[in-house]
Amino acid sequence: MTKIYLPRETTALSLGVEEVIAAIEKEASDRKITLQIIRNGSRGAAWLEPLLEVEFKGKRIAYGPMTTAQVKSLFEADFLNAGEHELKLGDLAEIVWFKQQQRLTFSRCGDIQSLSIDDYKKHDGFIGLSTALNTDSPNIIKNILDSGLRGRGGAAFPAGIKWQTVANAEADCKYIVCNADEGDSGTFSDRLIMEGDPYSLIEGMIIAGIAVGAELGFIYLRSEYPLSKTILEEALGRAREAGYLGNRIQDSAYNFDIRLHIGAGAYICGEETSLLESLEGKRGQIRFKPPLPAIEGLYGKPTVVNNVITLASVPIILAKGAEYYANFGQGKSLGTMPFQLSGNIKHGGLVEIPFGLTLRELIEDFGGGTFSGKPLGAVQVGGPLGAYFAGDQLDTSLDYESFAAAGGMLGHGGIVVFDDSVDYLKQARFAMEFCAIESCGKCTPCRIGSVRGVEVIDRIRDIQYQEERVEHYELLEDLCDTLEDASLCAMGGLTPMPVRSAVKLHQLLNQENDEPKINLKR
């Protein structure tokens, strides 16, 4: 019986994959053909979704993007035997967009049936866990330290050091918390792994538990991901049944279980202390640091708070060794990073590559330029708190240090492309507005400063106040300073990053119109 693969994943669903499946099933039954439809995760090529794969002579032959209208002609073209068709993309392994990537964290995603533990094991799943079970905590942590793995959520803090701190802390109980509150616009790598390869996250969390001596883990999932919720619930149940969660996992001396919690639509809950408050059922207001969550985290106990991708990268490090992972990347940015191309982009999706490619190469070689076909305008990297880049800045190398030096940040790897119709001042205003909407309200610079920021930018734009533009730019700069220096967390502290970079681009673009140039820091 021929096996065909179609994703059970949000992007594919949003583009009608269920309707395509219904059409295929009907056509197959009309033709008295039996076939097996396997629901995999997305491989991240959103521009090819819904992507259909046919298993043929040991290969996966890809067709896409699928529409119901094409189903009949696909059968006529004998797609089950790799027949020629206008949607045929050929052998999946030979598609350049995939071939040029280096998939470590996402190596299984799309290959396997998302929820099958058997499939997961056949594709090197749980090897990292068995390594962890056969060694000791210091050795696991040493592996994570040596791999150079840094927090993929945005702050890029070395994961090994965090784990070490929690392992060293003395307490009657410790926790592992997975931050799955992927709120940054332009990011979806957490969602893709949770929907396509949920066991890699579960395995990573179990290993973290063993390493630091925690017996309970929490996944804090944003409410905007209903499908991830369904898939994770199912995966957790199956992992429990198969003895990977619960008491004495795989007959070892270790106990570990995971609970799933759903957020309630607050961007700030992606900040780790705010997330912990929310997990405790409170308002998601941030906490003062110190104490760090590694010392006093959830319910006052030492807690590892890691992003989904950080945790999902752990199994391969344990399975293949720290050195294998650290051989990818450059400088202090080691391993691979799943970048996410979105916005006005032709070939959007997830691109996992070692650190070090330039932003321009990623956008042009993988992204294929803008969706609208217009010239590239600006690119916002690192979510709503990341800087806008344009022109020469696009040649910045994609690694943590180069981005920091260029006045930006890689963050969670989200890259939002705008074409040349972008209105920079409007984007600067939006950054302030977003901060005002999502501020937790605990500190004044963020709560009030963001509102004032919107007002000042409105005055810069307002024709009535054209004479006072210089003063308003100065005010804005002053406000940015205050937000940056006096906010309690990254929300207020980093909002000046998109504001300053966008205002600077606006001034550059309008210099012949006598736009005042005020010395904005970046």
The contact set with other proteins (CB under 8 A) reads: 10-11, 13-16, 19-20, 46-47, 49, 67-69, 182-188, 190-191, 222-226, 261-267, 278-285, 340-345, 348-350, 371, 380, 384, 414, 416-419, 422, 427, 430, 434, 437-438, 440
On the CB side of 35, CA atoms within 13 Å amount to 29
Q: In angstroms, what is the minimal distance from the CB of 250 to other proteins?
A: 26
CA 415 to chain centre: 11
Q: In angstroms, what is the minimal distance from the CB of 261 to other proteins?
A: 7
- Taking the C-alpha atoms of 396, 317, 180 and 281 in order, what is their torsion angle to the nearest 10 degrees? -130
Q: In angstroms, what is the minimal distance from the CB of 11 to other proteins?
A: 6
Q: In angstroms, what is the minimal distance from the CB of 72 to other proteins?
A: 13
CB closer to other proteins, 23 vs 294: 23
CB closer to other proteins, 76 vs 136: 76
- The single-letter DSSP state of residue 300 is G
Q: How far apart are CA 351 and CA 96, in angstroms?
A: 12
> Beta partners for 343?
417
CA 242 to chain centre: 28
CB closer to other proteins, 46 vs 149: 46
Give 329-396 as a DSSP string: EETTEESEEEEEEEES-TT-EEEEEETT-BHHHIIIIIT-S-SS-SPEEEEEESSTTSPEE-GGGGG-
Q: In angstroms, what is the minimal distance from the CB of 444 to other proteins?
A: 18
Q: How far apart are CA 1 and CA 55, in angstroms?
A: 10
CB closer to other proteins, 82 vs 387: 387
- The single-letter DSSP state of residue 49 is P
CB closer to other proteins, 348 vs 445: 348
Q: In angstroms, what is the minimal distance from the CB of 340 to other proteins?
A: 7
Q: How far apart are CA 335 and CA 385, in angstroms?
A: 24
Q: In angstroms, what is the minimal distance from the CB of 327 to other proteins?
A: 29
Q: How far apart are CA 180 and CA 178, in angstroms?
A: 6
CB closer to other proteins, 249 vs 350: 350
Q: In angstroms, what is the minimal distance from the CB of 97 to other proteins?
A: 13
Q: Are the C-beta atoms of 278 and 220 separated by less than 8 Å?
A: yes
Alpha-carbon separation of residue 224 from 188, 228, 229, 410, 432 (angstroms):
11, 9, 9, 23, 23
CB closer to other proteins, 108 vs 191: 191
CB closer to other proteins, 82 vs 422: 422
Q: In angstroms, what is the minimal distance from the CB of 303 to other proteins?
A: 16
CB closer to other proteins, 13 vs 155: 13
Alpha-carbon separation of residue 228 from 100, 115, 361 (angstroms):
28, 12, 31
Q: In angstroms, what is the minimal distance from the CB of 59 to other proteins?
A: 26
On the CB side of 116, CA atoms within 13 Å amount to 17
Instruction: Identify the helix (H) or strand (E) that includes residue 38.
Output: strand 35-38
CB closer to other proteins, 220 vs 400: 220
The contacts of residue 380 (CB under 8 Å, 6+ apart) are: 186, 343, 386, 387, 388, 389, 415, 416, 418, 427, 498
